[in-house]
């Protein structure tokens, strides 16, 4: 690692594990799956930057909560602003630095371990920048990472930091797959449409027309954001609603079926079993058996 400029910012927090400890922790137990080796908080980090021509040994996660900065990576330059995160896998060459006029405030950590490759899958080539969909929650998790390492370097603290970092990477991956933070975006509007029409017959062309996309385009962006198709999402949302009704109401299975858009009770039951693993009646019976009188 080569410093671009000096570090040292009023109010900064930083912890770096000694390399012998990193070697031991990555060799056994839960921390072999994910270990935070370095973490910190740099407020108003004027003149901050790093040049790593061969990348870092670990994955680097930077979360910007104020100001701005930029990163040269993958042959281009990306700007990092408030409410965004930068995820840099190990071995990816980069140069990042704070903006001269409005330097960023960062929460950051470095992580390694056997789970890392899967956690980084959503951040493939040229997909390093992430719009945070819940900035407050993500920053809270980043602070948990730093606090755990600030406590001490015992195994419990390393495990706490690893758990919070795993949650951060999973959330960032989810946000990256979901696409830009845009409550008025087509996928979000499609979801809202489906929720508003759970009791009705829904056709994908009607959903696509509602959000202003072709059927094929909606199918592509919806699958990228959710991991599945529009009708599969609708089915699973209906079944989730049905499970709640079966537990919390005395409605018959036929009534529950109609309430979530199925006119045929038997077709509903087949779909329910396919998603939930049991029939509606079996699900209700098992849930009631667990109820404490």
Q: Are residues 148 and 26 in the same domain?
A: yes
CATH number for the domain harbouring residue 158: 2.60.120.280
Q: Are residues 47 and 150 in the same domain?
A: yes
Distances (CA, A) of 171 to 40, 106, 122, 184: 19, 18, 11, 21
Distances (CA, A) of 157 to 120, 149, 150, 152, 191: 23, 6, 9, 6, 40
Structure confidence at residue 180 (pLDDT): 67
Do residues 195 and 233 lie in contact, with contact meaning Cβ atoms separated by under 8 Å?
Answer: no
Mean pLDDT for the stretch of residues 141-160: 95
Q: Are residues 115 and 145 in the same domain?
A: yes
Structure confidence at residue 182 (pLDDT): 59
Do residues 52 and 94 lie in contact, with contact meaning Cβ atoms separated by under 8 Å?
Answer: yes
Mean pLDDT for the stretch of residues 155-167: 97
Indicate the pLDDT class of residue 291, thresholds 50, 70 and 90.
low
Q: Are residues 23 and 116 in the same domain?
A: yes
Q: Are residues 136 and 245 in the same domain?
A: no
Other CB atoms within a 10 A radius of the CB of residue 34 amount to 23
Domain boundary among 120, 145, 178: 178
- Better-predicted residue by pLDDT, 145 or 181: 145
Q: What is the pLDDT of residues 238-284, one digit of tens each?
A: 998 899 888 888 899 999 999 999 999 999 999 999 998 999 999 88
Indicate the pLDDT class of residue 106, thresholds 50, 70 and 90.
very high
Domain boundary among 130, 152, 178: 178
Structure confidence at residue 136 (pLDDT): 87
Indicate the pLDDT class of residue 178, thresholds 50, 70 and 90.
confident
Strand pairing class (68-73; 59-66): unpaired
Domain that holds residue 117: 2-178
Lowest-pLDDT range, 35-39, 90-94, 245-249, 257-261? Answer: 245-249
Structure confidence at residue 3 (pLDDT): 39
Number of domains making up the chain: 2
pTM of the model: 0.73
Structure confidence at residue 32 (pLDDT): 97
Do residues 83 and 135 lie in contact, with contact meaning Cβ atoms separated by under 8 Å?
Answer: yes
- Better-predicted residue by pLDDT, 63 or 9: 63
Question: Residue 178, SS3?
Answer: helix
For the chain, give the percent of residues with pLDDT over 90: 69
Q: Residue 64 above 80 pLDDT?
A: yes
Structure confidence at residue 4 (pLDDT): 39
Q: Are residues 46 and 102 in the same domain?
A: yes
Q: Residue 113 above 50 pLDDT?
A: yes
Output the six-digit token pair for 188.
């979000």
Q: Are residues 173 and 205 in the same domain?
A: no
Q: Residue 18 above 90 pLDDT?
A: yes
Q: Residue 183 above 70 pLDDT?
A: no
Q: Are residues 84 and 225 in the same domain?
A: no
Q: Are residues 148 and 230 in the same domain?
A: no
CATH number for the domain harbouring residue 241: 1.10.10.60
Structure confidence at residue 5 (pLDDT): 41
Q: What is the pLDDT of residues 116-137, one digit of tens each?
A: 999 999 987 778 999 998 888 8
Q: Are residues 200 and 244 in the same domain?
A: yes
Domain boundary among 178, 211, 243: 178
């Amino acid at each position: 690692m080569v410093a671009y400029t000096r570090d040292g910012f009023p109010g900064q927090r930083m912890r770096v594990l000694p390399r012998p400890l990193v070697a031991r922790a990555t060799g056994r137990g839960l921390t072999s799956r994910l270990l935070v080796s370095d973490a910190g908080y740099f407020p108003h980090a004027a003149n901050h930057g790093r040049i790593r021509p061969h990348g870092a040994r670990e994955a680097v996660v930077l979360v910007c909560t104020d100001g701005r900065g930029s990163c040269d990576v993958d042959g281009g330059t990306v700007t990092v602003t408030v409410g965004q995160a930068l995820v840099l896998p190990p071995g990816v060459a980069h140069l990042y630095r704070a903006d001269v006029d409005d330097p960023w405030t960062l929460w950051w950590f470095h992580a390694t371990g056997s789970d890392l490759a899967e956690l980084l899958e959503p951040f493939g080539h040229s997909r390093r920048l992430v719009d945070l969909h819940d900035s407050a929650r993500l920053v809270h998790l980043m602070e948990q990472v730093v606090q755990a390492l600030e406590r001490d370097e015992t195994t419990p603290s390393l495990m706490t930091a690893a758990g919070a970092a795993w949650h951060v990477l999973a959330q960032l991956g989810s946000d990256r797959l979901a696409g830009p933070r845009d409550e008025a975006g087509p996928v979000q509007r499609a979801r809202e449409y489906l929720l508003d029409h759970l009791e009705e017959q829904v056709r994908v062309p009607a959903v696509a027309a509602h959000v202003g996309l072709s059927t094929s385009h909606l199918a592509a962006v919806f699958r990228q954001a959710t991991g599945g198709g529009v009708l599969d999402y609708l089915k699973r949302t209906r079944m989730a609603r049905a499970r709640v009704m079966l537990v919390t109401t005395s409605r018959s299975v036929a009534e529950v079926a109609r309430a979530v858009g199925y006119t045929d009770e038997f077709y509903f039951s087949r779909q329910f079993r396919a998603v939930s693993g049991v029939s509606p009646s079996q699900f209700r019976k098992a849930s009631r058996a667990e109820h404490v009188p």
